[in-house]
Amino acid sequence: MAAIDPLTAGAVFVATAATDAVYVMFTSAVVARKRVPAASWSAIWYLLSSYAVISYTENAVYVAFAAAGSWVGAYASLTFLHRPPGGPPVGAAPE
């Protein structure tokens, strides 16, 4: 069994806690239909979870593309889903 590096274990703990906290903020912004906050939290979420991208590509530059794509995706999704107050719910058949 390999020895556990306390620094790595602590970094994983902190990164996971931060990622989950940001995910909660992202979800809250989506539920509130706030496009800019949702897009921004989404980009931060991807920045925090970028370890996988760096591990697979060995090039941290791709993290910027992941964050930018996340921001655009969240912003576009909420733009498409945006309805004026009192309007029909998303997916409702037109009258």
Supply the mean pLDDT for the chain.
75
Q: What is the mean pLDDT of residues 39-57?
A: 77
The predicted structure's pLDDT at residue 36: 93
The predicted structure's pLDDT at residue 12: 67
Asked, for residue 2, whether it belongs to a domain, the answer is no
Asked, for residue 29, whether it belongs to a domain, the answer is yes
Asked, for residue 56, whether it belongs to a domain, the answer is yes
Cα 5 from Cα 67, distance rounded (Å):
29
The predicted structure's pLDDT at residue 41: 93
Q: How many domains does the chain have?
A: 1
Q: What is the mean pLDDT of residues 35-43?
A: 92
Q: Which of 45, 6, 11, 30 is nearest to 90 (CA)?
A: 30
Q: How many CA atoms lie less than 13 Å away from 68 in the CB half-sphere?
A: 5
With a cut of 60, say whether residue 94 has pLDDT above it: no
Asked, for residue 86, whether it belongs to a domain, the answer is no
The predicted structure's pLDDT at residue 38: 92
The domain of 52 spans 18-79
Other Cβ atoms less than 10 A from the Cβ of 73: the count is 14
Cα 56 from Cα 53, distance rounded (Å):
5
